[in-house]
Chain A
Amino acid sequence: MSIASQDAGIRTGRVARTFIYLVLLLFALFYLLPLYVMLVNSVKPLSEITGGGMMSLPQVWTLEPWAKAWSTAQIGVEPTGLRPYFWNSISMVVPAVAISTILGALNGYVLTKWRFRGDTILFGLMLFACFIPFQIVLIPMAAVLGTLGLSGTTAGLVLVHLVYGIGFSTLYFRNYYAVFPTELVRAAQIDGAGFFRIFWRILLPSSGPISVVCVIWQFTNIWNDFLFGASFASGDGAPMTVALNNLVQSSTGVKEYNVHFAGAILAALPTLLVYIVAGRYFVRGLMAGSVKG
């Protein structure tokens, strides 16, 4: 360790450093424990789990629980496995994320580069919408979806997630565009470029990072949603989280813990993969959603 780097921060002794590493290691184990448990128990026969071997590595390795969770496990009344619900979630997430991100980008653009009287208040109203407890909209939403004939459908859930995702996507793009030089926009305006041309040619090309942040945030949130899924689409149109819960809570027959763990990993896999590939952007999104300053 160089003198310069020690100078810049807190100095700690050798014993203290060992202690620090030990504490960090213990916490790392704490955070990894459930993932470890899910992984090892998803590849062992049920008898090993019920026989007291939850923490051990499998004696017999098997992919049976995964196959069962994916394609034959009993979800509700049908032995379909989680597969159809996985696709439900995909077909719900993709349009909801795409549309809410595009709208968020346009809103952020208007709110920062085409300001008008009262825009901060309108933004505040959109922002507060991010934080409401969604219980407050469940009853009217159920009524509206029922009237539109959308209850229990993926289209209905797309609408719901789109509406309640706009607040966050607008927040991201607004804060990002707020520090984008307005002079460039004015200069383009003087050159005769219109509203969409400026957006398309000047702002959008530099919106890569924030788009990734926004897409990841929306994807994670919408994929992980349970409340809306359980309230508006608990049958065949259910998303993955609702199906997983049905699988785990089913009271009939033997509790197949290994299948539950495999199902849990299947439900976690998409967001986990996104986190592994683009964790940096995910954390940025989390922070932007909490520390707005």
Chain B
Amino acid sequence: MATGAEVDLRTRLQNWLPKLVLSPSLAMIFVFVYGFILFTVYVSFTDSRILPFVDKNGQTTYELIGFSNYEKLFSLSHWDISVMNMAIYAGLYIVICTFIGLLLAILLDQKIRGEGFIRPIFLYPMALSFIVTGTAWKWMLDPAIGFENIVQGWGWTTFTFDWIKNRDFAIYTVILAAVWQSSGFTMAMFLAGLRGIDTEILKAAQMDGASNWNLYRRIIIPQLRPAFLSAFVILAHLAIKTFDLVIAMTGGGPGRATELPATFMYSYTFSRNQMGIGAASAVIMLMTIAAIMIPYLYSELRERKS
């Protein structure tokens, strides 16, 4: 009898063990991700300015103020500029990365000699920190020592290239560095897509005398739809998260010319002591990313099931 009970206990333990093993990770995710999200949402409805939330006497340092932070946020020109910059930045970043990525993938797919040598060169920027990338581009674009100075040294003394110091153009220099960093990665996504295309259809079309141009336009590129979708989702979410690159290159300046929502959130929360507004801006960022990621992840997980 005793052994029977023992076996019973063991099987019960074995049944519980998988869930037990999973539970610490789940607990961490629930507390540090979802719990924290709720917490930040809560903070966004308060007039909190700085940490901690409770002072030495056990008094809370904040009051609930409803949607005031959101109203204030949307009336701030600083936030307006950040959002506008994000629209320019994300739009161009996604379009240019997709274009360069697709172009390079198609070119690399032409049975290129030395592909194994070229591909890593296109991709290595992805392994670097944005701070490193930002530092390199910051000084290369700096009028005093970078391209402007070099071209002037060649004899073209009136040449100017001061975009990084120019309010109207600084955001484009950030786009340049960001494209440099992630276009190779986009190339890899498209290349994987190209390598997965059925060559039988291509052969048939070639037999019918289709030109290369038509082959790509009519048959190959339409088949890359999943790769386009992945590239869009990944690039969009990278764009919204962009923070380090701006800090390293321009610090948000000149003026506010390169402020993005992420830098806005950081400065309102940690240096301007306007934590409630910082929290509200973080909530807006999360909602934007969720609007892109949730449908994507949902469809990915559903596909795998079927």
Contact with B along A262-279 (1 / 0, CB 8 A): 011101100110110001
**CB-based contact B244/A227 at 8 Å:** yes
**CB-based contact B25/A107 at 8 Å:** yes
Contact with A along B112-126 (1 / 0, CB 8 A): 100000101111111
In the bound complex, what is the Cα–Cα distance between A148 and B91 (angstroms)? 41
In the bound complex, what is the Cα–Cα distance between A54 and B100 (angstroms)? 27
In the bound complex, what is the Cα–Cα distance between A163 and B25 (angstroms)? 8
**Could you tell me the distance in whole angstroms from the C-beta of A29 to the nearest C-beta in chain B?**
9
Q: Does A63 contact B (CB under 8 A)?
A: no
Q: Does A52 contact B (CB under 8 A)?
A: yes
- Chain-B contact segment, one of A31-39, A73-81, A90-98, A206-214: A31-39
Q: Does A153 contact B (CB under 8 A)?
A: no
**CB-based contact B180/A244 at 8 Å:** no
**CB-based contact A224/B298 at 8 Å:** no
Partner of A293, one of B43, B140, B243, B304: B304
**Could you tell me the distance in whole angstroms from the C-beta of A50 to the nearest C-beta in chain B?**
6
Q: Which residues does B use to contact A, with CB under 8 Å? A: 14, 17-19, 21-22, 24-26, 28-29, 32-37, 39-40, 43, 51-53, 100, 103-104, 107-112, 118, 120-133, 135-140, 144-146, 149-150, 152-153, 180, 184-185, 188-189, 192, 199, 202-203, 206, 212, 215, 226-227, 230-231, 233-234, 237, 240-241, 243-244, 247-248, 251, 261-262, 265-266, 269-270, 275, 278-279, 281-283, 285-286, 289-290, 293-294, 297-298, 300-301, 303-305
8 A-B pairs in the complex with CB atoms less than 8 angstroms apart? A103-B24, A138-B266, A143-B53, A146-B51, A162-B28, A166-B29, A226-B130, A292-B300
**CB-based contact A249/B212 at 8 Å:** no
Residues of A within 8 A of B133 (CB): 34
**Could you tell me the distance in whole angstroms from the C-beta of A141 to the nearest C-beta in chain B?**
7
Residues of A within 8 A of B278 (CB): 139
Please name 17 further chain A to chain B contacts, defined as beta carbons within 8 Å, in addition to the given A127-B301, A135-B282, A287-B188, sorted by A numbering.
A27-B100, A30-B180, A35-B136, A54-B150, A55-B150, A116-B19, A123-B301, A124-B301, A129-B29, A131-B289, A136-B283, A164-B32, A227-B243, A227-B266, A245-B131, A261-B135, A279-B124
Partner of A24, one of B107, B212, B301, B303: B107
In the bound complex, what is the Cα–Cα distance between A184 and B157 (angstroms)? 73
Contacts A264-B136, A293-B303 given; does A10 touch B215 at CB 8 Å: yes
Residues of A within 8 A of B153 (CB): 52-53
In the bound complex, what is the Cα–Cα distance between A291 and B299 (angstroms)? 12
| Chain B, residue nearest A272 (CB) | B127
Q: Does A181 contact B (CB under 8 A)?
A: no
**CB-based contact B285/A268 at 8 Å:** no
Interface centre among A136, A137, A267 (most CB of B within 10 A): A136
**Could you tell me the distance in whole angstroms from the C-beta of B38 to the nearest C-beta in chain A?**
9
Residues of B within 8 A of A283 (CB): 123, 188
**CB-based contact B129/A195 at 8 Å:** no
Number of residues of chain A lying within 8 A (CB) of chain B: 105
Residues of B within 8 A of A9 (CB): 109-111, 199, 202
In the bound complex, what is the Cα–Cα distance between A30 and B149 (angstroms)? 19
Q: Does A125 contact B (CB under 8 A)?
A: yes
Partner of A52, one of B150, B231, B275: B150
Contact with B along A221-235 (1 / 0, CB 8 A): 001101100110000
**Could you tell me the distance in whole angstroms from the C-beta of A266 to the nearest C-beta in chain B?**
9
Interface centre among A133, A166, A257 (most CB of B within 10 A): A133
In the bound complex, what is the Cα–Cα distance between A131 and B138 (angstroms)? 28
In the bound complex, what is the Cα–Cα distance between A20 and B108 (angstroms)? 8
**CB-based contact B269/A132 at 8 Å:** no
Q: Which 8 A-B pairs have the closest CB atoms?
A: A114-B18, A224-B129, A34-B136, A52-B153, A226-B244, A275-B127, A135-B282, A140-B39
Contacts A146-B51, A293-B300 given; does A135 touch B25 at CB 8 Å: no
**CB-based contact B279/A133 at 8 Å:** no
**CB-based contact A140/B40 at 8 Å:** yes
Q: Does A61 contact B (CB under 8 A)?
A: no
Partner of B127, one of A248, A274, A287: A274
Interface centre among B33, B133, B144, B145 (most CB of A within 10 A): B33
**Could you tell me the distance in whole angstroms from the C-beta of A235 to the nearest C-beta in chain B?**
14
Residues of A within 8 A of B111 (CB): 1, 5, 9
**CB-based contact A139/B275 at 8 Å:** yes
Partner of A31, one of B18, B125, B192: B125
**CB-based contact A27/B127 at 8 Å:** no
Q: Does A8 contact B (CB under 8 A)?
A: yes
Partner of B104, one of A27, A132, A231, A261: A27
Contacts A28-B118, A195-B14 given; does A139 touch B39 at CB 8 Å: yes
**CB-based contact B33/A286 at 8 Å:** no
In the bound complex, what is the Cα–Cα distance between A286 and B303 (angstroms)? 20
**CB-based contact A137/B29 at 8 Å:** no
Residues of B within 8 A of A290 (CB): 189, 230-231, 233-234
